Amino acid sequence: MSRPTIVVVGAGPAGSTTARLLAERGARVTLIEARRLPRPKLCGGGLTPKARRWLPATALATIERRVDRVELRGGRLMPLRLREADATIAMVERDRFDVALVEAAAAAGVEVRDADPVRTAIEDEAGVRVDTAHGRIRADVLIAADGEPSQIARELGVESPPARRALALEVDLPFPSQPPPDTAVVSFSVPAGYAWSFPKADHANIGVATADPRRYRLLRADLARFARTLGLAVDARRVRGHWIAVGLRTGALATRRTVLVGDAAGAADPLFGEGISYAMRSGALAAATVEDRMAGRMTDLRAYDKRLRRDLGPAFRRLAAIARAVECSVTLVLLTLWISGSVRRVAVDVVAGRRPPYAFREPAPEHISAGTQADLDRVPAKHAAMLS
């Protein structure tokens, strides 16, 4: 059989990971990114251990800080300070991190085209046709990794709302004087959402998110209020915002020749809006499904929809239930964490992705490679220790 040709639209974590995994399996892959790389991406840049298995050495080397202390705030309680070496959050800046993932894809043989927005995408009997600012490409398969909202999903007539859509605002500020820069702060002070302070190498990323549309217009005030609790002032002109599609889209996530991955599939979690690890996981499932089709084990790609829902659905449903419990009484939820060591243990396992259904249920198929031991061996020692 001739080498399958695949076009991946969008060079975020979902697109680069899918492209790399497919190229490693022998496909001819073109990764098309609308913007000139490196490009900024609004994001707290917090990576949980769930992302670890798909991180190539180039991406590990961009980790700026490893945080194992989290201060949980909310309700009428004193802040709860947790220290958990097993559930460290690795902090990255998305421009550097995303380029590192693209570099790993390019090293695997992916042709990368940046500053080349895709304008239209059409699926027909012969394959897919993608028109970009610089020309036309035909391929066997299209991976839509173009984020939220997904223009490709709209083009192909599979656009649908996510279970919920959160609005998130963020701003980079100097480190607060308290807590120290080895500690992340998560505050459930925002209705139907939360606020965060994530320490990077030389500054803190401060943000707020809410999934309640009635709170959208109050979100700037929520951000300023949270920053004040850290002794920081927000310059409103530097605040930026974007949507996070959480809980998976309600409509089809695949057609005969196209799959939606990452934010294009609405694959961020309903409690924290964590999306990077799920973007990579959906990419791994997409690559496995494309490989099954190319090997003749299935006739088209629609099985991906079921695979992704089976894989992420149970965890997302539980996280949505926890989000609802926090909305009802954050004091009660945090009190339970204060009192019960076993509940704290479960919470840490959720972040680390260690127990079902928060762990990715089935191991990635063996033929899908990850950050291999060889990759890790090439990482400078100071970075290799960072994702434990």
Ligand X SMILES: Cc1cc2nc3c(=O)[nH]c(=O)nc-3n(C[C@H](O)[C@H](O)[C@H](O)COP(=O)(O)OP(=O)(O)OC[C@H]3O[C@@H](n4cnc5c(N)ncnc54)[C@H](O)[C@@H]3O)c2cc1C
Q: In the complex, which residues of this chain contact ligand X (CB under 6 A)?
A: 9-15, 32-35, 39, 41-46, 117-118, 145-147, 151, 168, 170, 207, 242, 244, 262-264, 268, 273-276, 279
DSSP-based three-state secondary structure for 121: strand
Residue 246: CB minimum distance to ligand X, A: 9
Residue 241: CB minimum distance to ligand X, A: 7
Looking at beta carbons only, is 147 or 162 nearer to ligand X? 147
Cβ neighbours of residue 217 closer than 8 Å, sequence gap 6 or more: none
Per DSSP (E only), the strands in the chain are: 5-9, 28-32, 46-47, 65-67, 69-73, 80-83, 89-91, 111-113, 118-124, 127-132, 135-139, 141-144, 162-173, 183-187, 193-199, 204-210, 240-249, 258-260
Distance separating alpha carbons of residues 240 and 238, to the nearest angstrom: 6
Looking at beta carbons only, is 8 or 379 nearer to ligand X? 8
> Please, are residues 291 and 4 in contact by the beta-carbon 8 Å criterion?
no
Looking at beta carbons only, is 129 or 378 nearer to ligand X? 129
Looking at beta carbons only, is 66 or 338 nearer to ligand X? 66
Residue 160: CB minimum distance to ligand X, A: 16
Looking at beta carbons only, is 146 or 305 nearer to ligand X? 146
Looking at beta carbons only, is 34 or 82 nearer to ligand X? 34
Give the bridge partners for 165, in sequence order: 245
Look at residues 219, 226, 292, 204 and name the one whose alpha carbon lies nearest to residue 254.
Answer: 292
Residue 63: CB minimum distance to ligand X, A: 13
Residue 105: CB minimum distance to ligand X, A: 12
DSSP-based three-state secondary structure for 337: helix
Other CB atoms within 10 A of residue 376 CB:
15
Looking at beta carbons only, is 77 or 216 nearer to ligand X? 216
Give the bridge partners for 210, in sequence order: 167, 193
Residue 346: CB minimum distance to ligand X, A: 20
For residue 151, CA distances in Å to 2, 92, 94, 142, 145 come to 30, 27, 21, 13, 10
Residue 39: CB minimum distance to ligand X, A: 6
- Tokens 């690795």 correspond to what residue? 90
Residue 264: CB minimum distance to ligand X, A: 6
What tokens appear for 166 in the block? 């959160």
Residue nearest to ligand X (CB): 275
Looking at beta carbons only, is 67 or 288 nearer to ligand X? 67
